[in-house]
Structure 1
Amino acid sequence: MNILFIEDDAMNRRVVRDMLDVAGAQMAEADRAEEGLRRIDDEEFDVILVDLRMPGMDGFEAIERIRARGDAKGELPIIVVTADTAPDLTERCKRLGADEVLFKPVAMDALFEAIGRIVASKPGEGDIILD
């Protein structure tokens, strides 16, 4: 499984990378939303993890731009990973097209469960396994 994490904080990226390494997943990184969108153009990913609060383009706009694509990459599963605890945040993220919302600090089991739910819900993706 190839996962892109769009997150401006290097420590948060490292923590998630360590979790995904345990499962044998590959994680690419982007420290800005603009870079993440370029990587989506150029590379193949199974899941996108995105923070919401970043300098420049925020995660909300990144999600909107991903969903606005006219190709299969516009339907990539998106998991929001955020420290934002606004009362309507989960609903707002889902309205924009996020599949899941996780709150920092992210627990390994919560991350794996979210990825598992997404993979199980996507037709033809049953062969992707994350232990």
Structure 2
Amino acid sequence: MRLVIRGFLSKAGHRVTLAATGAEACAALGRSCFDLAIIDLLMPDMDGDEVVRRLRHGRSAQAGLPVLMLTAAIDPDSSDRVEACGADMRLHKPFRRDDLLGAIGRLTAGR
């Protein structure tokens, strides 16, 4: 999924940094500035909601970074987790390229 998203975003002119795990995502968010984070709810070693919690409650300049949470889960528990962690928007998998680009546009408008 990361490679597909990178392809979509690269073709649309975005620069993309990939992370395979929650720990890699936290490390990348700690060392670089981004316009947006796209995070999967379920990842190896640390779920996406924990990554977002750490981002939101950290002392980083990135704490207010817009976050788009991706999830294949449609159960109420996953919806609650996405909302509780502070993600700005949720996009259900599978999604269309245009849905992804539209969500990114809405989250980054005016930045």
> What is the TM-score with the length of structure 2 in the denominator?
0.91
| Separation in 2, partners of 1:30, 1:104 | 18
Q: CA RMSD in A?
A: 1.4
- Count of matched residue positions in the alignment of Structure 1 and Structure 2: 111
Which one of 19, 23, 39 corresponds to residue 30 of structure 1?
Answer: 19
Name 1:110's counterpart in structure 2.
99
Pairwise CA distance, 1:62: 0.8
Is the 2:22–2:51 contact (alpha carbons within 8 Å) kept by the matching residues of 1? yes
Higher normalized helix content (fraction of residues): 2
- Percent of aligned pairs with the same amino acid: 38
Is the 1:49–1:80 contact (alpha carbons within 8 Å) kept by the matching residues of 2? yes
Is the 1:81–1:106 contact (alpha carbons within 8 Å) kept by the matching residues of 2? no
Matched AA of 2:100:
L
Q: Does 1:83 align with 2:57?
A: no
Q: Map of 1:1-131 to 2, 5 A cutoff?
A: 12-120=1-109, 125=111
- Summarize deviations over 1:60-101 as a string: whole Å, max 9, x none: 111110110123201101001111111353343123110110
Q: Which runs of 4+ in 1 moved over 4 A?
A: none
Pairwise CA distance, 1:18: 1.0
Matched AA of 2:29:
I
Higher normalized strand content (fraction of residues): 1
| Separation in 1, partners of 2:10, 2:103 | 16
> What is the TM-score with the length of structure 1 in the denominator?
0.78
